[in-house]
Amino acid sequence: MNANAEEMELRERLDLMQRMINEGRRKQESWGWTFVLWGVAYYVAFFWAWLGSFPIAWPVTMTAGGILTFIGFSRRQYRVPETTIGRAIASIWIATGSSMFILFDAMGFGLHLADPRAFFAAASAMIGLANAACSLTLKWKAEFFCAIVWWAAAVIACFTSLVTTIIAFLAAIFLCQIVFGAYMMVLEARQRRQVARHA
């Protein structure tokens, strides 16, 4: 009897953990639009900087992206309940975004890079870290693939030419921000349709 009670309690705890992970994943799926938004923002900042405005391109674009993200979050109403895992995922992205904002501002205003590959390596590694932390927390292989792509872009920046580095960085943005963000938006829409059908 005691062994059965312990087994039931263990099963309930595992079920609770799985529900929390699923809720955290649904919460992140609802942020797919932010992945797409920031993918576009990175492209805008990159090409604006490439045209010769590096000191202002990244800080201005990142500030505009932050404002648009804030407006988007304030207008959206989420139906996914707030969980510890959801808060943890949000914290990872807020910390990463803040770190990148500080890094890009410092590089844009205060530093003329002798080798711009350092910029691409740092940015790629930071985004890879955030994707890896979230994917490990949510047990989500698709997002871990994004982490691997970002880390590969960071390594490429350290060992190849600037042209190859730029191609790798732009490819990572496309795959891991725009495509993955669109994938999350599709998953969220599918989830909403299922909820509407059951309602």
The dihedral through the CA atoms of 181, 184, 186, 189 has a sign that is: negative
The answer to whether 131 and 146 have CB atoms below 8 angstroms apart is: yes
76 DSSP 8-state letter? -
**What's the pLDDT score for residue 156?**
97
**What's the pLDDT score for residue 74?**
83
For residues 10 and 108, the model is more confident at 10
Taking the whole predicted model, whether its pTM rises above 0.75 is answered as yes
Mean predicted lDDT score pLDDT of the chain: 84
How many domains does the chain divide into?
1
pLDDT, one tens digit per residue, over 146-177 is 999 999 999 999 999 999 999 999 999 999 99
Rounded mean pLDDT, 72-97: 77
**What's the pLDDT score for residue 166?**
94
Task: Determine the residue type at 91.
Answer: S
Phi and psi of 110, rounded to 5°?
-110, -5
Burial group, residue 187, by CB count within 10 angstroms (0-12, 13-18, 19+): middle
**Structure token digits, residue 17:** 């953990």
Kindly report the number of other CB atoms within 10 A of residue 53's CB atom. Answer: 14
**Structure token digits, residue 171:** 């490819």
**What's the pLDDT score for residue 27?**
73
Largest separation between any pair of C-alpha atoms in the chain: 74
**What's the pLDDT score for residue 139?**
87
Position 54 confidence tier, pLDDT thresholds 50, 70, 90: low
The answer to whether 151 and 135 have CB atoms below 8 angstroms apart is: no
Q: What is the span of the domain harbouring residue 186? A: 2-198
